[in-house]
Amino acid sequence: MEATLLSLSSVQEPGLREGFYVASPSRGRNPIRCVGAGHSETGSRAGLASQRAAIAAKQLRQCHWCAHRCGVDRLAGQRGPCHAGPEGRIFSAQIEVGDESDLCPVFAVAFSGCDLRCDFCNTGRQSWDASAGSVPEGIEREALLSRIGRAWESGAVRSLMILGGEPTIHLASALELVAALPDGLPVVWKTNAHGTPESNALLDGVFDGWVADLKFGNDDCARRIARVENYCSTVHHNLRWAAGQTRLIVRHLLLPGHLECCWRPAAAWMAEHLPQVEVSLRTGFWPGWFSSRHPELKAPGRLSEAQEATRIGIEAGLRLIQ
Ligand code: SF4
């Protein structure tokens, strides 16, 4: 039975769910989907996503989907810090191989715009500009769904990933898209984890897995580089919540010069609070977008720091994956 609006507003207690991977009868071993996680407990994913999309569409009247909680009426033309309108725009939809290895290849659908302003953003303008791309409607929407269907049925992809920018700011559109996907296709939610109990409630049980960022290990770096307040408490809460709902991969992009201030405390926090989640330490930093605003981010990531970061992760007992 679908959750009520009241229950959608409640926050579930964080907790870790033991997961293991299932064999898909039609497609061999499926490394993505966890037994006991996701929509399998609630019936059709399409039905659940469709119901949630309808609820989300009404919440556009007073948006509280990200931790800015600006409450603007997006249907009336008001815009919050994310600058997003009522309809999600997509700037990229293609097969990619740069994500965690057991998710790949992924069919990545990227929504425009973001609620954060990370100067090192690797997609740059499209992630900062909610007006980039287009709203897939009519023939364009059918063509997108057809491409996804062919990629899945032909075995060209192992999963579909919804990302951005930040897809949380486009919850209604993202859920509408999920409602139209083949039920067997594992769907991964890639997020900056800067959401709220309201957005978490809409996402709960819809996805087969989350890939969520833990970008910073302290609030000062987050404020300076991504212009966001209370980063750690917000993201820590959401990661703990997500770990109790689905397969969670926590992703950390190692920033040059941030080994001690960001990675070490992030690793220590995960070791204490999320010892069972998989941790994807990304060491391929490239100084794109506005990285040059920060002296330490003007050069690519260093091998010595990557090696030290890996050592820190291993010593902390993290489940490092690639
Ligand atoms: S998603 Fe955008 S409109 Fe909604 S609370 Fe966040 S900044 Fe405001």
Render each residue's pLDDT in the chain as its tens digit; 322 residues.
Answer: 333 222 333 323 333 333 323 323 333 333 444 433 445 445 699 999 999 999 999 999 999 999 999 999 999 999 999 999 999 999 999 999 999 999 999 999 999 999 999 999 988 899 899 999 999 999 999 999 999 999 999 999 999 999 999 999 999 999 999 999 998 999 999 999 999 999 999 999 999 999 999 999 999 999 999 999 999 999 999 999 999 999 999 999 999 999 999 999 999 999 999 999 999 999 999 999 999 999 999 999 999 999 999 999 999 999 999 9
Residue closest via CA to ligand 1's atom 2 equals 82
| Ligand 1 atom closest to Cα of residue 84 | 2
| Ligand 1 atom closest to Cα of residue 63 | 4
Tell me the whole-structure pTM to 2 decimals: 0.88
In short, whether 166's Cβ falls inside 6 Å of ligand 1 is no
Alpha-carbon dihedral 130, 84, 195, 109, rounded to 10 degrees: -40
The Å distance, Cα 114 to ligand 1 centre, comes to 9
Convert 252-279 to b/e letters by CB count within 10 Å (16 or more is b).
bbbbbbbbeebbbebbebbbeebeebbb
The rounded distance, in Å, linking the Cα atoms of 211 and 99 is 9
CATH 2.40.50.700 correct for 42-71+86-321: no
The Å distance, Cα 289 to ligand 1 centre, comes to 23
The Å distance, Cα 205 to ligand 1 centre, comes to 22
Give the start-to-end residue ranges of the domains of the chain.
42-71+86-321
Q: Are 110 and 90 in contact (CB under 8 A)?
A: yes
In short, whether 174's Cβ falls inside 6 Å of ligand 1 is no
The Å distance, Cα 198 to ligand 1 centre, comes to 12
